[in-house]
């Protein structure tokens, strides 16, 4: 005869359910609340634009809001440190790119984190070249004219999106490679630098090409060279730095999605899959092309190998150039 009474049966069912739940990690229901993507630059730049584009689509894929949180400063390491030390639960992510991963940490006296070991690199999103550009009133129309004017004047000011930004680093490398006397003028993002370039407050700017294409098309700014090995599809008339006999100055800004170390494998796989699904959507491809970003879905292994290579090449380059924040 079955001697289980209802209360005992209920208790056993509860215990069995509890035991089963204990065998499945808490992240099995991920995500069950909003996700934050930390961007290491102010609003309006290429990283911010891409992050917001991805956040909207990832929110639809994952079933939870994905919000962008701008944490600029210190060559991207303020936002980078925030994510590297966050709980590895999948709710705090980093819009990783060349600056906070392969450049910024190496400009500080004490490196705040290991760009490889202190993150979980989850999804490669794409890359865009930098552009060396001139103010239209400066009268500089070509890269050769830029070098010529800089040598004749004995000094050339150049702007970037901030100290330790990829534009700043490239300018310092250009200075070291060419021997030009270039003086860095840092801005809090690309928007205020654009204002000063148009007004001819500074003659030269260096930044990721993404935000500046409308100003090139409109004639307010003059593109002198892109820093990729191939010409930019949206600006095919602009020569590459390789064509201008400066192959050591090739530098592109990659974009990815990373998180804290030791994230759950299934959460990582889901983020990678969702990002890759977004990247092949025709309307997203079109928008990224308009931003001069070449999108390319990659596997986890390929993205991690890419990050290791970038850090191994660019980190020592920054140190050798003596670039310090």
pLDDT digits (tens, 9 = 90+) for 176-201: 899 999 999 999 888 899 999 999 99
Domain annotation covers residue 288: yes
Where among 225, 249, 273 does a domain terminate?
249
CATH number reported for the structural domain that contains residue 286 in this entry: 3.40.190.150
Judge if 191 and 243 occupy the same domain. Answer: yes
Q: Is residue 44 predicted with pLDDT exceeding 90? A: no
Q: What is the pLDDT of residue 19?
A: 40
Q: Which two tokens stand for residue 167?
A: 């534009």
Judge if 101 and 159 occupy the same domain. Answer: no
Judge if 279 and 199 occupy the same domain. Answer: no
Domain annotation covers residue 41: yes
Where among 215, 249, 283 does a domain terminate?
249
Mean pLDDT (the chain, rounded) = 89
Q: Which two tokens stand for residue 264?
A: 């759950």
Q: Is residue 223 predicted with pLDDT exceeding 70? A: yes
Judge if 86 and 165 occupy the same domain. Answer: no
Domain annotation covers residue 275: yes
Q: What is the pLDDT of residue 198?
A: 97
CATH number reported for the structural domain that contains residue 214 in this entry: 3.40.190.10
How far are the Cα atoms of 132, 251, 308 from residue 313, in angstroms, in the given order?
22, 11, 9
Q: What is the pLDDT of residue 224?
A: 98
- pLDDT tens per residue across span 61-114: 999 999 999 999 888 999 999 999 999 999 999 999 999 999 999 999 899 999
The CA distance from 228 to 106, in Å, is 22
Q: Give the count of domains, the chain.
A: 2
Judge if 55 and 111 occupy the same domain. Answer: yes
Domain that holds residue 216: 129-249
Judge if 172 and 259 occupy the same domain. Answer: no
Judge if 200 and 274 occupy the same domain. Answer: no
- pLDDT tens per residue across span 127-153: 999 999 999 999 999 999 999 999 999
The dihedral through the CA atoms of 176, 154, 223, 171 has a sign that is positive
Q: What is the pLDDT of residue 2?
A: 39
Judge if 160 and 239 occupy the same domain. Answer: yes
Domain annotation covers residue 4: no
Judge if 117 and 140 occupy the same domain. Answer: no
For residues 164, 166, 168, 172, the Cα torsion angle rounded to the nearest 10 degrees is: 110
The CA distance from 99 to 128, in Å, is 13
pLDDT-based confidence at residue 28 (cuts at 50, 70, 90): low
**Contact at 8 Å (CB) between 39 and 47?**
yes
Judge if 223 and 151 occupy the same domain. Answer: yes
Domain annotation covers residue 1: no
Q: What is the pLDDT of residue 210?
A: 86
Judge if 68 and 122 occupy the same domain. Answer: yes
Judge if 197 and 258 occupy the same domain. Answer: no
The CA distance from 83 to 35, in Å, is 12
User: Which is nearest to 90 in space by CA: 305, 262, 255?
Assistant: 262
Q: Is residue 17 predicted with pLDDT exceeding 80? A: no
Domain annotation covers residue 161: yes
Q: Which residues have a Cβ under 8 Å from the Cβ of 93 and sit 6 or more positions away? A: 35, 36, 37, 38, 83, 122, 257, 258, 259, 271
Where among 199, 222, 249 does a domain terminate?
249
Domain annotation covers residue 25: no
């Amino acid at each position: 005869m079955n001697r289980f009474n209802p209360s005992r049966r209920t208790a056993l069912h509860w215990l069995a359910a509890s035991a089963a739940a204990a065998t499945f990690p808490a992240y099995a229901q991920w995500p069950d609340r909003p996700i934050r993507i930390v961007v290491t630059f102010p609003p309006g730049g290429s990283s911010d634009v891409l992050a917001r584009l991805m956040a909207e689509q990832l929110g639809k894929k994952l079933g939870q809001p994905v919000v962008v949180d701008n944490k600029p400063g210190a060559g991207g390491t303020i936002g980078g440190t925030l994510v590297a030390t966050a709980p590895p639960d999948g709710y705090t992510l980093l819009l990783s790119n060349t600056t906070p991963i392969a450049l910024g940490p190496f400009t500080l006296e004490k490196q705040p984190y290991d760009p490889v070991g202190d993150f979980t690199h989850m999804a490669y999103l794409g890359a865009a070249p930098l552009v060396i550009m001139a103010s239209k009133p400066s009268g500089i129309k070509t890269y050769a004219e830029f070098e010529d004017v800089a040598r004749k004047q004995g000094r050339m000011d150049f702007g970037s999106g901030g100290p330790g930004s990829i534009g700043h680093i490239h300018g310092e490398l250009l200075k070291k490679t060419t021997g030009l006397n270039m003086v860095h003028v840092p801005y809090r993002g690309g928007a205020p630098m654009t204002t000063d370039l148009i007004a001819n407050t500074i003659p030269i700017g260096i930044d990721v090409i993404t935000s500046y294409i409308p100003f090139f098309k409109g004639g307010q700014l003059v593109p002198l060279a892109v820093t990729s090995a191939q010409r930019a599809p949206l600006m095919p008339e602009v020569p590459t730095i390789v064509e201008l006999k400066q192959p050591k100055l090739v530098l592109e800004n990659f974009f990815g999605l990373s998180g804290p170390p030791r994230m759950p494998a299934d959460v990582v796989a889901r983020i990678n899959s969702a990002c890759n699904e977004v990247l092949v959507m025709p309307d997203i491809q079109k928008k990224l092309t308009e931003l001069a970003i070449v999108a390319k879905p990659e596997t986890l292994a390929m993205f991690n190998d890419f990050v290791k290579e970038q850090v191994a090449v660019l980190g020592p380059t920054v140190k050798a150039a003596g670039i310090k924040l």
